[in-house]
Amino acid sequence: MKPLVNAEQMREMDRRTIVGGISGFDLMERAATGAADFICKDSPDLSSISILAGVGNNGGDGLALARILDKRGVRAHVFLVGDASRMSAESRRNLELLAQTSVEVTRLDAVSGITAENEVWVDALLGIGLDRELKGIYADTMTFLQNQARVYALDVPSFVQSDTGAFMGPTYRAHATITFGAPKVGLFLEPTRGLRGELEVVDIGIPGDIADDVGHRAYLVESSDLVRPRRPADFHKGRAGRVLIIGGSPGIVGASVLAGKAALAGGAGLVTIGTTRESSASIGLVHPTLLSKPLLDAEDQIEHSLAEADVVVIGPGLAPNDAALKILEAARVVSKPVILDAGALHLLKDRALPSMCVITPHPGEAAMLLESSVEEVLAAPLEAARKLSLKFNAIAVLKTSRTLIDDGRLTYINSTGNPGMAVGGMGDVLTGILATQLLEEGFTAEACAKAVCLHGHAADVATKNFGERGLDPLDLIEALKRLWPELEVQ
């Protein structure tokens, strides 16, 4: 999994590296050299370039980039934005060095002062740490970049809050973002992810022990993280594990069936649907691979069924009634992973949860649980996921276009999936896959993150055959089964 940092962590890594003997100027030189290497490779016929540079360290990177490109025969024009008296020593040195080159430097007070007509531009205005709305010349330059053919952003696009991915003013679509030292969290969150373009990470020489000691804000989960060992020859269904899914109230029984079929496709040995007598009869007839029990109508069987299971799921297709409350209360004391989904999430207020609990809200459910609004959840999903985890002392799986998994300490950001998943039943399939991943790897946020990634990866594979429009949850389950040969290794 790929570690991601916030602005504070990146600054601390830089600071400790400088204390350790690598100067700030050298770090800036390494960043600019890496950016120049990427730009020249990406635009091999580049003859001229314009650079919007601020007066902070991000601007210093841009000034160093202009000098390096000039040495490589690329004509560079720098437009300097901001009060030059506020420059850091490293940035000022880079500005002074430009006097020894053919780089043209123009102090820019308004976009009307831009005279260059280059097709390639570099955004080196602000970098990480932006925490206020863009105004004046800074907002105007973002609008200006909207109409440029190719824009490279240094570290992060200047309209982005690098810790959250939130937009702080007018936006543009970058051709590529060249980030330094370590990838920034906000670059992997929507809506920024859709505008940052290709992402290039430049190694600037942060020592590994410093990076490990400072730590990371989040991890990106990718399909390459899903490889696992092949099962041994003597494997049996008992070792594969038992999943109990409680739900399937009349009229919404399909949700529990989808979760059950996904759990089987994910590798569970036995899957039982605990439901009503009416639903239990239909499940047994139509889906013979799924076991069923009338637990919602047979309170005396609940304790034994919970004890038999290795992982318990409560919620898919579950009506939030008295029977559901009794199930939830009985599950509170079990010492095994319990996933609370859909209908069960409506019963959580002021209620103690199982000690090993996973909650799986979509933004509407998250807003209900946090007593906020959907808009607030989507505006700050990292914060919402962390609040959910801490409030309920559970692993929170916040289902968005880039689903987040948070255990109160670390956040995992999923990288897979597509708009074809915007259809009813996909969440039930995820719940089934979550159950099997917990069977395989135990109760950890990392296991939940892999389940989310696997869910999205299966959807990506399914869309290659069916397209995004009309993608069915059953298509995803079928794709999941076909994935295993490539994910399993000796």
Residues comprising the binding site?
57-61, 123, 127-133, 138, 155, 158, 255, 317, 362, 399-403, 427-428
Q: Assign residue 473 a region (left: φ > 0; alpha: ψ between -120 and 50; beta: otherwise).
A: alpha
Show binding-site residues for AMP.
Answer: 399-403, 427
Q: Which of 319, 236, 235, 237 lies closest to 272, judged by CA?
A: 237
Q: DSSP for 148-160, please give it.
A: -SEEEEESS-TTB
Helices (H), 332-405: 363-370, 374-379, 381-392
Show binding-site residues for (6S)-NADPHX.
Answer: 57-61, 127-133, 138, 155, 255, 317, 362, 428
Answer whether 388's CB lies under 8 Å from 377's CB: no
Q: How far is CA 72 from the centre of its chain?
A: 37
Q: DSSP for 9-68, please give it.
A: HHHHHHHHHHHTT--HHHHHHHHHHHHHHHHHHHSTT--EEEEEE-SSHHHHHHHHHHHH
The residue type of 447 is A
Residue 359 backbone dihedrals phi, psi, to 5 degrees: -115, 145
Helix (H) or strand (E) holding 147: none
Name the token pair of 243: 């999943």
Residue 272 backbone dihedrals phi, psi, to 5 degrees: -115, 135
Largest CA distance in the chain: 86
Name the token pair of 360: 């799986």
Helix (H) or strand (E) holding 462: helix 445-466
The residue type of 445 is A
What is the rounded CA–CA span in Å between residue 33 and residue 54?
18
What is the rounded CA–CA span in Å between residue 228 and residue 266?
13
Show binding-site residues for K(+).
Answer: 58, 123, 158
* Collapsed DSSP state (helix, strand, coil) of residue 454: helix
Helix (H) or strand (E) holding 257: helix 253-266
What is the rounded CA–CA span in Å between residue 333 and residue 290?
26
Q: Which residues does residue 340 pair with via DSSP β-bridges, in sequence order?
A: 314, 359
